[in-house]
Amino acid sequence: MSSSHDAEAPLFLGLMSGTSADGIDAALVQFDPAAAPRCRLVAAATTPWMPALREELIALGQGAEIPSLDLLGRLDAEVGLAFAAAAKHLIEEAGIDRRRVRAIGSHGQTVRHRPLADPAFTWQIGDAHRIAEHTGICTVADFRRRDVAAGGQGAPLMPAFHLAMLGAADEDRAVLNLGGIGNLTLIPRQGDIRGFDTGPANALMDSWCYRHLGTSYDADGAFAASGNVDSPLLARLLAEPWFALPPPKSTGREQFHLEWVEMQLPEGTVAAANVQATLLELTAASVTEALLRHQPETRRLLVCGGGVRNPVLMARLAERLPGVVVESTQAHGLDPDYLEAMGFAWLAAEALAGRPANLPAVTGARGPRVLGAIHPA
């Protein structure tokens, strides 16, 4: 192992909360392009959101109106304090000297993502000044808006990190993140890397499961496995025009939510378990159809995010992709539960180094841009 992975090497800490808003993922990492793996996870933890705060964040993410500026200001402060607490907790649990952490990269919590609006915008809350103040560590945040200002979608931002950590010269690969929303990074042996959202992943399944079982997610895919795919419903869901849009494209809860599903549901004619099975198949179908359309020569699909823990979904992906190795990023030394948090630690490192971290071929931006606003300790 290279010397940059020794006890004195600087650390970066990434903070991530995605569309599922199921918790704040925190990851302490070291980077070394010459080592294997190129990104070493030193410590990681997930801090649950306070239930009332989570409900407010999910409602906003699904397009609920903001009742007042006072509420938005309070949420921005509370989310910033929650992110700071998650970072401090991880550092203390890991027994790491805070001074070794060069910077924190914070994604924040998305409350609106409108890349097709005029003017386009994306908005992540979580006051980074409070993170820097309460941790005493330089904090980089607000990574998406520079790309949007440059004409891009502001998402997905992980493809550059995936390329740096998981690229290979001997095969066409793809990285699939199964968070609340699914997104693909296409890494061909030759040619430009591409990446885009594929549509709903866990967000719809989790919401339907919570409504009918009172649990926050479908453990081991058991609820979906107890039902059968409703083919007419699946066809109606896949007929959503967004799926046919060419990349670059991105989406979120504001587009794919339970009300969208219910609009396609005949009144009282589809059993709850069958809807869950259909939503799982929607994820598998939208991912695999996009992959086969845009990189049919893919030989290895590396999966991360919460969906990697759903064996029913993983099996459906493999069945729909004969000849493709479907495996967790863990097989390549990168923890699938914390890959995005690790990615935001990497984005912080790139920002401090003054290196562009967007990929115009992915987001549609006019050119490479250094991402993130730096908040000194």
DSSP output for 237-298: HHT-GGGGSPSS----TTTSSHHHHHHTS-TT-S-HHHHHHHHHHHHHHHHHHHHHHH-TT-
Helix (H, G, I), strand (E, B) or coil at 15: strand
Q: What is the mean pLDDT of residues 150-162?
A: 94
Q: What is the mean pLDDT of residues 98-106?
A: 97
Helix (H, G, I), strand (E, B) or coil at 236: helix
Q: What is the mean pLDDT of residues 11-18?
A: 95
Question: 274 near 148, Cβ under 8 Å?
Answer: no
Q: Please indicate whether residue 250 or residue 12 has the higher confidence score (pLDDT).
A: 12
- φ, ψ of residue 145 in degrees (nearest 5): -70, -25
Average pLDDT, the chain: 93
Residue 3: predicted pLDDT? 40
Question: 19 near 180, Cβ under 8 Å?
Answer: yes
Residue 250: predicted pLDDT? 87
pTM score of the predicted model: 0.89
Residue 253: predicted pLDDT? 81
- Percentage of the chain surpassing pLDDT 90? 83
Residue 302: predicted pLDDT? 98
- CATH code for the domain defined by 159-332: 3.30.420.40
Residue 370: predicted pLDDT? 98
- Radius of gyration (C-alpha) of the chain in whole angstroms: 20
Instruction: Calculate the alpha carbon distances from 339 to 26, 151, 284, 303, 310 in Å.
Output: 10, 27, 21, 10, 17
Q: Cα separation of 343 and 159, whole Å? A: 9
Residue 252: predicted pLDDT? 85
Distant-in-sequence, close-in-space partners of 29: CB < 8 Å, separation ≥ 6? 11, 12, 13, 14, 39, 40, 41, 42, 342, 345, 346
Would the pLDDT of 85 be above 50? yes
Of the CA atoms within 13 Å of residue 232, those in its CB half-sphere come to: 5
Would the pLDDT of 1 be above 50? no
Distant-in-sequence, close-in-space partners of 359: CB < 8 Å, separation ≥ 6? 159, 160, 163, 193, 195, 368
Q: Cα separation of 258 and 23, whole Å? A: 21
Residues of the chain with CATH 3.30.420.40: 3-153+336-375, 159-332
Residue 6: predicted pLDDT? 56
Cα–Cα nearest to 316, from 221, 252, 243, 238: 221
Q: Cα separation of 87 and 92, whole Å? A: 9
Farthest CA pair distance, the chain: 63
The C-alpha angle with vertex 194 and arms to 188 and 195, in degrees rounded to 5, equals 125
Strands of 24-31's sheet in order across:
39-47, 24-31, 11-16, 101-106, 139-141, 373-375
Burial status of residue 260 (CB atoms within 10 A of its CB: 0-12, 13-18, 19 or more): middle
The model's pLDDT over 293-325, given as tens digits with 9 standing for 90+, comes to: 999 999 999 999 999 999 999 999 999 999 999
In terms of CATH architecture, what is 3-153+336-375?
2-Layer Sandwich (3.30)
